[in-house]
């Protein structure tokens, strides 16, 4: 029997089970549906959402292309005004967004609310860019002449988003796409369709014209159709490295733009002089917040051997006190992972690491006692992890933390940089000289000192290095280099004054 009973506000509106194309909510053209359920309680069916195919994707691109000229003509200031109107509605719906995120993705209500608030700040930031989407006036080489540059939207963009941030990531793609004058097709993860539908509805309620933003629910067939469509000028994707590489390969022959935010294997370096209590609190937050399902999650701790034992004791004690439970339970410290595949992958990674010689400091199982039938994984800390092992090198994307030993700063930094990803890097130390060195030496895009090493503040670029990122960073003015292209003009004015 289900332990989750949705309130009236949490129930899915019939329209939101469908795609939204050219101003209309409509089922998938072939009639396909996919059941979406609650990872906290598999007996809670959220709804049967559209399972779209190539024809739906093509229809959405056609609608976006047709809507492009009028949307471009509106200009960035008026487009920004519409986004400000959407932000006002968004602020009124934070609780609705948080409930949808918790129910279909599994984040605790507080985490869902934090994501909704972050999305709102990103929306407001982007709306304000409508008055700053500028070019330059440059010196001209001829008399009575001007030299100008300005930006133009690239056209139709495909926005392919993941399940781990089902509101924030679609928002930080949709908002700049619309402000720039692009029209868009949003393809969210099939695991989180409801949250995406609520975002689209909010923009529609703010007055977004038909065809400017189209929502197509579905999986691989939709994504491949969008990436290969000749009228799609750019693809912004957040997700796994293998899918990102496939998108790049498919888009390259026609020179379609790509913006790819991919995996992470993020390290926190703890030096011998660090505040171990502060480090342990930050590591637990980074490793187990949102069940470890974020690209910037703390996946590795690289600790000086001199303080390894006291740090591990603190980590195990804090992780061991965490209460695993449903996303909506007020006493839950750690919600479920998103589905059975993710749970099984986490447990398999732990078992493989132990078989290779790692030691379980805590966790490592799927808890069952007193919990509904959901996808739960205990917060897990492993020590004695080999530097070249899968657990030390590859993304787990769950509440699993690897502890690796190091001999001083140089060795710790070498371990931190030894992976193919470079999303986030963090150091705990009291030495300002080491802080300086770390900011220079980390091969990662988002850096932190003596604080949790997850993400960046909403007004800072969200970016990685190495195989974590390709293309302009998001959540920053630099994103316009993806959504727009430059124009320049040399203008000479005739001397039409009477008498020459």
Residues with catalytic function: 261, 295
Sign of CA dihedral 381, 382, 384, 390: negative
DSSP, res 16: G
How far apart, in whole angstroms, are the C-alpha atoms of residue 19 and residue 237?
A: 19
Residues ≥6 apart with Cβ < 8 Å to 484: 133, 151, 152, 153, 154, 180, 181
- Rg for the chain, CA atoms, rounded: 24
Residue pair 366/347 in contact (Cβ under 8 Å)? The answer is yes
Q: What is the layout of strands, in order, in the sheet containing 469-470?
A: 24-26, 19-21, 213-215, 183-187, 156-160, 232-238, 257-261, 469-470
Place of tokens 């999303």: 423
- The CA distances from residue 300 to 139, 242, 381, 416, 425, in Å, are 52, 22, 10, 8, 10
b/e per residue 348-384 (b: at least 16 CB within 10 A): ebbeebeeeebebbbbbebeeeebbebbbbbbbbbbb
Tell me the C-alpha distance between 30 and 128, whole Å.
41
Tokens of 163: 């399940």
d(CA 112, CA 282): 20
């Amino acid at each position: 029997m289900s332990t989750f009973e949705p309130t009236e506000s949490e129930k899915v509106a019939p329209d939101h089970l469908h795609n939204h194309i050219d101003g209309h909510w409509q089922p998938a053209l072939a009639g396909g549906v996919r059941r979406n359920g609650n990872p906290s309680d598999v007996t809670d069916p959220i709804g049967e959402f559209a399972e779209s195919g190539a024809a739906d994707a093509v229809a959405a691109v056609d609608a976006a292309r047709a809507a492009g000229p009028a949307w471009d003509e509106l200009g960035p200031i008026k487009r920004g005004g519409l986004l400000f109107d959407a932000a006002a509605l968004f602020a009124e719906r934070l609780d609705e967004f948080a409930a949808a995120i918790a129910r279909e993705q599994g984040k605790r209500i507080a985490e869902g609310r934090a994501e909704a608030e972050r999305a709102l700040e990103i929306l407001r930031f982007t709306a304000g860019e409508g008055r700053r989407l500028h070019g330059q006036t440059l010196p001209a080489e001829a008399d009575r002449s001007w030299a100008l540059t300005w930006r133009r939207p690239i056209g139709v963009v495909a926005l392919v988003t993941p399940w781990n941030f089902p509101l924030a990531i679609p928002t930080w793609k949709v908002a700049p796409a619309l402000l720039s004058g692009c029209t868009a097709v949003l393809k969210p993860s099939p695991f989180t369709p409801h949250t995406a539908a609520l975002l689209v509805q909010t923009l529609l309620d703010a007055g977004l014209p038909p065809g400017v933003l189209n929502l197509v629910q579905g999986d691989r067939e939709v994504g491949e159709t969008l990436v290969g469509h000749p009228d799609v000028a750019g693809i912004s994707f957040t997700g796994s490295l293998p899918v990102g590489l496939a998108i790049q390969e498919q888009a390259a022959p026609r020179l379609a733009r790509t913006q790819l935010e991919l995996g992470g294997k993020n390290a926190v370096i703890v030096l011998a002089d660090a505040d171990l209590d502060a480090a342990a609190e930050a590591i637990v937050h980074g490793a187990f917040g949102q069940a470890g399902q974020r690209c910037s999650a703390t996946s590795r701790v690289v600790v000086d051997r001199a303080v390894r034992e006291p740090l591990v004791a603190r980590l195990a004690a804090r992780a061991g006190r965490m209460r695993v439970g449903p996303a909506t339970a007020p006493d839950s410290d750690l919600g479920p992972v998103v589905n059975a595949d993710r749970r099984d992958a986490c447990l398999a990674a732990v078992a493989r690491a132990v078989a290779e010689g790692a030691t379980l400091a805590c966790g490592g199982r799927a808890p069952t006692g007193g919990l509904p039938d959901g996808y739960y994984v205990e917060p897990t800390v492993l020590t004695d992890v080999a530097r070249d092992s899968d657990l030390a090198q590859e993304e787990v994307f769950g509440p699993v933390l690897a502890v690796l030993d190091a001999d001083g700063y140089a060795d710790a930094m070498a371990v931190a940089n030894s992976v193919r990803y470079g999303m986030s890097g963090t150091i705990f130390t009291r030495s300002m000289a080491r802080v300086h060195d770390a900011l220079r030496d980390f091969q990662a895009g988002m850096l932190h000192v003596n604080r949790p090493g997850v993400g960046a503040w909403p007004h800072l670029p969200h970016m990685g290095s190495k195989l974590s990122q390709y293309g302009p960073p998001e959540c920053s003015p630099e994103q316009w280099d993806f959504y727009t292209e430059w124009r320049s003009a040399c203008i000479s004015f005739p001397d039409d004054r009477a008498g020459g």
